Chains A and B, each alone.
Chain A
Amino acid sequence: MQMKMAAIAAGFSAFAMAAGLTSLPAQAAEAVKIGMITTLSGPAGYLGQDIRDGFNLAIEEGKLGGVPVEILVEDDGLKPGNGRQIADRFLTDEGIKLFTGIVFSNVAGATVPEIVDAGAIFVSPNAGPSEFAGKGCHPNYFVLSWLTDTMQGSAGQNASDLGYKKAFVLAPNYQAGKDAITGFKRYFKGDIAGEIYTRLDQTDFAAEMAQIRAAEPDVVFQFQPGGLGIAFLRQYQQAGLLGTIPMVISEPSMDHAILKAVGDAAEGLNVSGAWNTDLDNDTNREFVAKFEQAYERTPTMYAAQGYDTALAIASALKHTDGNVEDTEGFRQALLKTDFETTRGDFHFGPNQHPVQDWYAMQVVRGEDGELKLETRKKLLEQHGDPFAADCSY
């Protein structure tokens, strides 16, 4: 029996083991190496996959901004420890100076300091924790996506604009979840009827549904990224809440992959975000068409952010002729913001986080009978974040 117990313990620890490695074939010898640490395995694997695929879409014949590049992709498996180890290896063994890819705030929290303290540059295609936006900002750290606080705040703004007075809020119990709730409350002008932190590995929300029903709010705000969001929405529908209590969410809880998987339970939902397939600008039109042709699926915002990150890096590589050893020069080149994005007007705030437009969207049924995310109006125009004021280099 003791053997068996010991073996179970071994089984538990086996889950802590690292996940696989994927690397693109090596290209020209003098190519600039870019380290992409992202989440490719597990339920959230499609987030990293879209970032990688979007990023690769911008590479033309192995070149970004006319400079040959080699992308080294590794899977962090959504484990902060893995991310840090990969960064370590990329820094010492490969001598990489330029990093991107991280999807989740908790991985970023452990990995980004390692990278920027070693004098390398990190350009985030997704993760945007508030801790690195204010006092913890760093000159080598750029965010091309958004801050979790602002992303979820846009849902708060949306809820206020829609006239809701009493909100029930839920998010997973980790850094981004806390940022989400703080962000929502920052922009929402009504009262909070209840607040629940769920587990990050939780997939059954029946207990929470019952609490929502008991609290009788005007509106529910929830942040559940990836597969969690799918489970949450369908259980919300099954619990009979969909027709009675409206929901506002931000795009990470209703990206284009979730929309497909959720089906009818998504119809009518109020969504907010910085990017959508129907945003009216040339870069976006070109990106959506190219992505659909190359991968035969609808791009998510993660793909768009991966693409934008690649465009940003391309512009800086072009200005510096591919010299990433001079990080200060590379920084200045990136700060010129000499690139287009799929989100239209975009520039960096004083903390090198985005200043961009935010949109209200809604899930509607298109003429072809398929559900789609339709942009309704601009919620916030050229909006930065409240942490920038605390940042000084």
Chain B
Amino acid sequence: MTLFIEQMLNGLQFGVTLFLLAAGLTLIFGIMGVINLAHGSIYMVGAYAGTVVATQTGSFWLGIPAALAAAALVGAAMEFLVIRRLYQRDHLDQVLATFSLILIFNQVITLIFGRQPLFVATPEFLSGSIEVLPGLLYPAYRLAIIVVGLAVALGLYLLINKTRIGMLVRAGSTNRDMVRALGVDVRLLYTVVFGLGALLAGLAGFMAGPILAVQVGMGEQILITTFVVVVVGGVGSIRGAFFASLLLGVIDTALRAYLPGLLRQIMVGPEADALGAGISSMGIYLLMAIVLLIRPKGLFIPKS
């Protein structure tokens, strides 16, 4: 039982990391209609900036503002210099332009930091494990990620549903042209939304640093899963992104943890392991295919 709870916590932690990325992506996609493949690059920029500052100053905490600032700045600059020219263009042009941004970012990072992965230490008081339930030790750092992720989700909920900016964001994702017609400075709104999305991606990147490897190309590894989240949750819906992130995080973890074991009941050990690994890596894509068949607009978009 403790093993099961631990695996669910693992799924939750993976889910909130996905959410931090998916929230920005779905906003940018839903409101501006831009496909930003370079979202993963911002995640990488956040991770590198935070890691470098944390290593140089010796303080993990100083790394957080550095990661956020770098990601938001790079995001805003990206919007101002490149994305702004793409709003009226075809989606294929957007894909091409933002894909080239990925290559540019990867190469620039390689030029500055080299190909060797960077090291960032876990802050001292988060480095141990906490006894969540009797007999269930869970890494403190992962718990911290869950807490931060849920706090960000709550903050976003309040921002989107209770503030004026949030109202504009909601209006923008439902009917862009009407918002513009009512005299709202859409350009500014776009830059703010893009910067916010970038900020969250940077936060996700920095928090992933002590768990994963801070290295070139780290963004692309998670970006595809993030797109799956956006599609499953429904384009433009923060709520959808939140539930889809958690759903996919938990399903992915559960498949990896339990499928080989279940298959081993009915077939030989090594074959079950290999087949289980194969199916579990397809799991979230299968889910996406099913969702697209049944609810093409995503699970959390109300039928209109």
Contacts and interface: CB of A to CB of B under 8 A. Distances in A.
B126 to A, nearest CB: 9
Nearest to B37: A11
Interface stretch (A125-133, A191-199, A281-289, A338-346): A191-199
A230 interface: yes
A4 B91 contact: yes
B210 to A, nearest CB: 7
A14 interface: yes
A100 to B, nearest CB: 19
Interface stretch (A134-142, A154-162, A208-216, A321-329): A208-216
A260 B119 contact: yes
Nearest to B129: A240
Nearest to B236: A4
Contact of B91 (A3, A17, A43, A202): A3
A210 B7 contact: yes
A10 B122 contact: no
Given A41-B217, A173-B278, A231-B211, A208 B231 contact: no
A30 B135 CA distance: 71
Query: Secondary structure of the B side of the interface?
Result: helix
Contact of A199 (B96, B212, B277): B277
Contacts of A7: 35, 91-92, 94-95
A17 B99 CA distance: 10
Interface string A1-17: 10111111011101101
A201 B222 CA distance: 9
Interface string B247-271: 0000001001100100000000110
Interface stretch (B56-64, B70-78, B136-144, B176-184): B136-144
Query: Secondary structure of the A side of the interface?
Result: helix
Contacts of B95: 7, 10-11, 14
Interface residues of A, number: 55
Interface string B80-107: 0000000000011011100100010011
B117 interface: yes
B154 interface: no
B213 A45 contact: no
A260 B116 contact: yes
The range of chain B's interface size is: 35 or more
> In the complex, which of the residues A20, A227, A260 has the most CB atoms of chain B within 10 Å of its own CB atom?
A227
B29 interface: yes
Given A1-B296, A214-B3, A238 B213 contact: no
A197 B274 contact: yes
A374 to B, nearest CB: 20
A204 B212 contact: yes
A43 B117 contact: yes
A114 to B, nearest CB: 26
Given A195-B270, A235-B211, A257 B116 contact: yes
A45 B110 contact: yes
Contacts of B115: 40, 45-46, 49
Interface in A3-42: 3-8, 10-12, 14-15, 17, 19-20, 40-42
A210 B137 CA distance: 10
Contacts of A258: 117
> In the complex, which of the residues A3, A196, A234 has the most CB atoms of chain B within 10 Å of its own CB atom?
A234
Contacts of A14: 37, 95-96, 99
A201 B282 CA distance: 12
> In the complex, which of the residues A6, A178, A201, A206 has the most CB atoms of chain B within 10 Å of its own CB atom?
A206
Given A197-B273, A197-B274, A5 B220 contact: no
B256 A208 contact: yes
Contacts of B3: 210-211, 214
B121 A263 contact: yes
Contacts of A20: 103, 107
> In the complex, which of the residues A7, A19, A228, A231 has the most CB atoms of chain B within 10 Å of its own CB atom?
A7
Interface string B215-247: 111101110100100110001000000000000
A231 B37 contact: no
Contacts of A262: 119
Contacts of B280: 199
A211 B257 contact: yes
9 nearest A-B pairs in the assembled complex, by CB-CB distance: A7-B91, A206-B10, A46-B115, A197-B277, A230-B213, A227-B213, A42-B217, A238-B139, A207-B257
Interface of A: 1, 3-8, 10-12, 14-15, 17, 19-20, 40-43, 45-46, 49, 173, 178, 195-199, 201-204, 206-208, 210-211, 214, 227-228, 230-231, 234-235, 238-240, 257-258, 260-263, 297
Given A4-B35, A45-B110, 10 more contacts: A1-B296, A10-B35, A10-B92, A12-B224, A14-B95, A206-B253, A231-B211, A231-B212, A238-B211, A261-B213
21 contacts: A1-B296, A7-B94, A8-B227, A10-B91, A10-B92, A19-B103, A41-B106, A42-B220, A45-B115, A45-B217, A49-B115, A178-B274, A195-B270, A198-B256, A199-B277, A207-B253, A207-B256, A214-B3, A231-B212, A231-B213, A261-B214
